[in-house]
Amino acid sequence: MESSLYFKTALIVSIQIGIIFIGCYFFIKKARDAYSHNRPFFGIHFRGEENSRGELDLIPIDPRPIASKSPLVEENEELPTPQSSLMSKCMWVWFFSLFGMVFLASKSVVIGLSLMTLTSVTFAPLLGVIMLEMDENDGLRAILLTLFITIAAALVGMYSGIDFSFMRTFLFYSLCALILIGLVRIFVGMSSAMIRIKAIAGAILFSLFLVYDFNRLKNLNDIGVNDWSTALNMAISIYLDILNLLLEILDAMGNS
C-alpha cells in the first residue's frame, strides 16, 4: 500500500527537524560536560552562572590572552579564534546547502534531500551557539514552544475546514515588510524593545505561514497529488517556517 502525501511530508520534516533539535540538545549537553571538566568545546570556553530560576547558564568567553598578537598581524587586527574559524566554516556550509536545497530540490529528490540533511546537520551547532549566547535553558524552552505551535498550526490548517489560501497575498507582503525591517536593523540599529516587537510579529507571521502551508498540504492531498517531489517541496516550506518561527522566538526571548 502506497504511503500518503501526509506521511511522506511528515517523514521528511520529522527527520530533518529531529536532526536539528536533537543535535542542538547534544551540542549544549557536550558544552556543559566540557565546562564541568574545565575544557573548551567547539573551540569555545565557558563560564557558568545561575539564572533567575537557579539553573546553570553557560556563557561563552574569548580564551585568547590579551597579548596574543602575531608580529605579522597589524596592531588593530585580531587573530581568528578557534570558535570563529569553526563557526565560519559551519556557517558557509549551511548557507550554501540551504540555498542549494531551495533551488535544486525541484530538480532532484535525492539532491534535495541530501542538501536538506546537510543543512540540518550544520545548523544544529549554529543553533546551539545561538542558544548559549543567550540562556540555553530559555532556548530549550523555545524549542518546546515551537513544537507546540507547529502541532497547533497543523491541526488548524488541516482539520479546521477553512481554506486559508486567501492569506497568500497578505503573507507575501508581510514577509517583505519583515525582511525590510531586518535590513533596517542591520544598517540603522534598533532598541531592544523594538527588536522584541519585531520578533513577536515575526513569530506570529511564521505561525500563520505554518497554518497556510499545512492547509496547502491538505489541499494537494485532497486532489490526489502523491509523489516524493511534491512531498519534498512541501516539507521544505514547512521546515523553513519552523526554523524561522524558532529564530523569531529566540530573538524575542533574547531581547526580553
In this prediction, residue 80 carries a pLDDT of 47
∠42-91-234 over CA atoms, to 5°? 120
> How many domains, in total, are found in the chain?
1
* Domain membership flag for residue 72: no
* Domain membership flag for residue 71: no
* Domain membership flag for residue 70: no
Q: Which residues contact 20 (CB under 8 A, 6 or more apart)?
A: 120, 123, 124, 127, 243
What's the pTM value of the predicted model, to 2 decimals?
0.88
In this prediction, residue 117 carries a pLDDT of 96
In this prediction, residue 1 carries a pLDDT of 53
In this prediction, residue 248 carries a pLDDT of 95
* Domain membership flag for residue 76: no
Range of the domain at 191: 5-64+81-254
Average confidence (pLDDT) per 10 residues, the chain, 256 residues = 86 96 93 89 83 86 50 45 68 92 91 95 92 90 95 96 94 94 84 90 97 96 92 96 96 80
Cα–Cα nearest to 18, from 143, 153, 154: 143
Q: By the 8 A CB rule, do 171 and 209 touch?
A: yes
Q: By the 8 A CB rule, do 43 and 83 touch?
A: yes
